[in-house]
Each structure stands twice: as structure tokens, then as C-alpha cells.
A = this chain, B = another copy of it.
């Protein structure tokens, strides 16, 4: 089965896609060995370097595993949820806030318990930078994000930290941050700063209960703020 010549994609991509289809269709299953590079080159009527480039692309994509001297093997589908992740819908802002409401109070509580002196200091610095920003400063959100990430570090549970990064990651917050941002007034921003201060103080005092409550309050208020903005935004 030679390759279409009306295809403007680069050769290695065509070959890679073709091989990928063969794998998807069940022609080759997990663990199977693909034909040798030389054989593939001959079958597809292309040169070996092109086949190699295609295989390297597939390897980087996690589809196959290249074992030197042994062969090319189809990787088990028990790994990369690359396809899965793609298929997951992007969470809406309310969903993210609900998840944060579930996770972040616990993170704050643990952080109060485990934070080292350095971590408290880092939090204080991040808070200081945040407090210096005006409501219109676009750097605001970055400092905000950093504050929460530092909290994740301090909680001494990398699984929860991972959750936090996922929640605040680019896949989740894009419009949310932007929207909350767009409607922020100076007074609302000042309130947000106070909420962060409360959290920081609880961490500094190593008071888990207070930290949990402060974070809970912070997120609940963020939900409220966001809900009203949402109404304003969708009404227009």
C-alpha cells in the first residue's frame, strides 16, 4: 500500500499516521513487534531514514517503544491518557470552583501543619507582591496563582499539589480567570487581598483549623463574586 502522492504533509508524518492507523485498527496490538525498519521502508516504498523519523515521532507520542537491537513494539494502552485527556471536556468555572472548594481548604489545613519557615516566608513574599498590585494590574492573577501553588508545596502532599496544578492549569482557568479579572473593582480586589492575608496568618500561626476556614471562606466568596460577574457577563 504505497503512500498517496497528493499528500502535502511531510513524509514522516504520513508514515507515522499510517502506522498509527494500523495500530488503532488492531492490525498490531499492544506488545506486538512491528516489522523491521528496513522491511517497512521497502513495503511503504520509502527510505529507511523516513521510516525512522516516523517511528521517532510515534515514540515521542508514546505510541510505540523502540528497543535497540530488538525491534519496535506497540506500547500498552494502560499508559498515556493522552487520548483520554483530549477527550475530557474543559471544566467550566463553576465546576473548577466546586473542586477547589473541596481540595484547597484541606491543602491550607495541611500547609498550616507542615509549612517550614522558608515556605511561610515564600508565602509572605508572594502575598506582599500581590498586595502591592492594583486591581488593574494583569500580574495580579500570576501572584494569586503563585500563592496557591506555594500553599500546595507547603502541604507536603504531592498528590494534592498535583491536583492544585491541574485545577489552576491552562486547561482549566482560561476564561474563568479572565472573566473574574474583567469585572474586578478596586474594592473587591482589596477584599481578596484581605482574604489571602487571613490565610497567610493562619499558616504562619500553624493553625490548621483557622487555615481551613479562611480558605473555605476565600473560595466561597470567589464563587459569589464570580456568580454575579457571570450574570453581568451573560446578560449583555
Contacts and interface: CB of A to CB of B under 8 A. Distances in A.
Number of chain copies forming the complex: 2
Interface residues of A, number: 43
A91 interface: yes
B170 A162 contact: no
A87 B166 CA distance: 14
Contacts of A57: 56-57, 60
Interface in A16-58: 49, 52-53, 56-57
Contacts of A96: 159
Nearest to A169: B81
A145 B219 CA distance: 30
Contacts of A170: 78-81
Nearest to A141: B78
Secondary structure of the A contact surface, majority rule? helix
Which interface residue of A53, A159, A167, A172 has the most chain B CB atoms within 10 A? A159
A159 to B, nearest CB: 4
A99 B56 contact: no
A88 B158 contact: yes
A139 to B, nearest CB: 10
Contact of A162 (B60, B88, B102): B88
A162 B166 contact: yes
25 contacts: A10-B68, A49-B49, A53-B56, A56-B56, A56-B60, A57-B57, A78-B170, A79-B170, A81-B165, A81-B170, A84-B165, A85-B165, A88-B161, A91-B158, A91-B161, A91-B162, A95-B159, A98-B159, A99-B103, A99-B160, A102-B106, A103-B103, A159-B167, A162-B171, A166-B166
